[in-house]
Structure 1
Amino acid sequence: MRIASYNVNGINGRLPVLLDWLAECRPDVVCLQELKAPEARFPRLALEEAGYHAIWHGQPSWNGVAILSRRDLPVETRRGLPDDPDPTQSRYVEAAVDGVLIGCLYLPNGNPRPGAKFDYKMRWFDALIAHAQTLVDTGLPVVLAGDYNVMPTPRDVYKPERWQDDALFAPEVCAAFARLVAQGWTDALRTVHPDATLYTFWDYLRNAYGRDAGLRIDHLLLSPSLAPRLRDAGVDRAVRGRDKSSDHAPVWITLANE
Structure 2
Amino acid sequence: MRLATWNVNSIRARVARTVEFAVREHIDVLAMQEIKCKPEQFPYGPFEDAGYHVVAHGLSQWNGVAIASREPIDDVELSFPGMPGFAKGHEGPDAPLEARAIGATIGGVRVWSLYVPNGRSLDDPHYVYKLDWLSALAEHTRSELAANPDLALALVGDFNIAPTDADNGDPTVIEGASTHVSAPERAAFADLEAAGLADVVRPLVPTGFTYWDYKQLRFPRNEGMRIDFVLGSHALADAVTGAAIHRDERKGEIPSDHVPVVVDLDLAGSDDDDVPMIFG
Task: Please indicate, yes or no, whether the TM-score normalized by the shorter chain is above 0.5.
Answer: yes
Deviations 1:99-139 (A, max 9, x none): 11111110000012112110111111111111111222212
Q: SS at 2:13's partner residue?
A: coil
| Corresponding position of 1:204 | 214
Q: Distance between the aligned counterparts of 2:143 and 2:76, measured in 1? A: 14
| Corresponding position of 1:235 | 245
* Shift in Å, 1:161: 8.1
Which has the higher Rg, Structure 1 or Structure 2?
2
Unaligned ranges ≥5, structure 1? none
Asked if 1 retains the 8 angstrom alpha-carbon contact of 2:2 and 2:262, the reply is: yes
Q: Distance between the aligned counterparts of 1:82 and 1:257, measured in 2? A: 27
**Is 2:23 the partner of 1:19?**
no
Q: Distance between the aligned counterparts of 1:3 and 1:65, measured in 2? A: 15
Q: Which moved more, 1:155-164 or 1:248-257?
A: 155-164
- Aligned-pair identity in percent equals 35
* Shift in Å, 1:19: 1.9
Q: Distance between the aligned counterparts of 2:145 and 2:209, measured in 1? A: 27
| Corresponding position of 2:191 | 179
Q: Distance between the aligned counterparts of 1:226 and 1:188, measured in 2? A: 9
1:3-152 paired onto structure 2 within 5 Å: 3-70=3-70, 72-86=71-85, 87-137=96-146, 138-139=148-149, 140-152=151-163
* Shift in Å, 1:198: 1.0
Asked if 2 retains the 8 angstrom alpha-carbon contact of 1:55 and 1:76, the reply is: no
State the AA in 2 paired with 1:75. Answer: D
Deviations 1:193-242 (A, max 9, x none): 33xx2100011011111111110000001101221111111111101112
What TM-score, normalized by structure 1, do the two folds share? 0.95
Deviations 1:153-179 (A, max 9, x none): 001111578421211111100001001
* Shift in Å, 1:76: 3.0
Asked if 2 retains the 8 angstrom alpha-carbon contact of 1:54 and 1:73, the reply is: no
RMSD: 1.4
Deviations 1:175-194 (A, max 9, x none): 01001101221101212133
Q: Distance between the aligned counterparts of 1:182 and 1:126, measured in 2? A: 12
Asked if 2 retains the 8 angstrom alpha-carbon contact of 1:192 and 1:232, the reply is: yes
State the AA in 2 paired with 1:40. Answer: E
Instruction: Please identify runs of 4+ aligned residues in structure 1 that moved more than 6 A.
Output: none
